[in-house]
Amino acid sequence: MSNQQPVAEKDRHARGHDATHQAALARRRACESERTREARHQRLRRIGFGATIVAVLAIGGVLAFGDFFDRPAGEAGVIDVQSSMAGFTPSEIRVVAGSTVTLDWWTQDAAMHLEGGVHTMISPALGLDESLPAESRRTIAWTVPDKPGTYDVYCDSCCGGKESPTMHGTIVVEPAA
Ligand SMILES: [Cu+2]
C-alpha cells in the first residue's frame, strides 16, 4: 500500500481542479442566461418606450406644449451607469472635456458571478480604473481629461472581461464649448 498516498493526493488534486472548472462553467452559464434575459428586457423596454411616447404626445397635446417638455431628466452632471452581465448600460456616454461629472454607478449582480466580487470600469486613456462591489451603488466624481475623442471603456472582471466585446462601452469626450 505504498502507492495509496500518491493516488489519493492525485485524486484530491483532480477534484479541486474539477471544482474550479465547475465554478467557471457556472459563471459562463450565468452570463449567457443574463444576456438572453437582458435582450428580452430590451425588447420590453422598447415597447414600453413606444407606449411612453404615445402617452407623452397625448399629454403634451392636452397641455398645449406648456413647460411639460422642459423638465430636466435628472440632476445635471450626474450620469447613471449600470454594470451587468450584459455590459454597461447605457453602452455609450457623452461627457465634456475638462468638466467634472458624477458617475452614479450601480449593479444588481451577485458576487458569485463576478471575479473578485466586483465589476470594473477601466479606460487607461481616460485615467479610469474603478471597481464596484456586487449589489451596490457608488458615485464617482470624475474630472474628464481635456482630450476630446472617442474612447473605449471595459469591465475586466466578468463574462470574459476585456476579451469579450459585450464588456466594452464607449465614452465620447466632446470639446468644451
Ligand atoms: Cu463586469
Range name among 65-79, 126-140, 148-162 with the lowest pLDDT average: 65-79
Q: Which residues contact 141 (CB under 8 A, 6 or more apart)?
A: 100, 101, 102
> Smallest Cα–Cα separation from 158: which of 101, 96, 87, 105?
87
From CA 119, how far away is CA 157, in angstroms rounded?
A: 6
User: How much distance in Å is there from the Cα of 2 to the middle of ligand 1?
Assistant: 49
From CA 41, how far away is CA 89, in angstroms rounded?
A: 12
| Residues 39, 42, 46, 47, Cα dihedral to 10° | 70
Q: What is the pTM of this model?
A: 0.67
CATH of domain 78-174: 2.60.40.420
User: How much distance in Å is there from the Cα of 54 to the middle of ligand 1?
Assistant: 35
Instruction: Parse the chain into domains and list their residue ranges.
Output: 1-70, 78-174
pLDDT (tens digit, 9 = 90+) per residue, 88-123?
999 999 999 999 999 999 999 999 999 999 999 999
User: How much distance in Å is there from the Cα of 72 to the middle of ligand 1?
Assistant: 30
User: How much distance in Å is there from the Cα of 157 to the middle of ligand 1?
Assistant: 5
Identify each DSSP E strand in 49-124 by its residue range: 78-84, 87-89, 92-96, 100-106, 118-123
pLDDT (tens digit, 9 = 90+) per residue, 139-168?
999 999 999 999 999 999 999 999 999 999
Residue with cell 406644449: 65
User: How much distance in Å is there from the Cα of 134 to the middle of ligand 1?
Assistant: 10
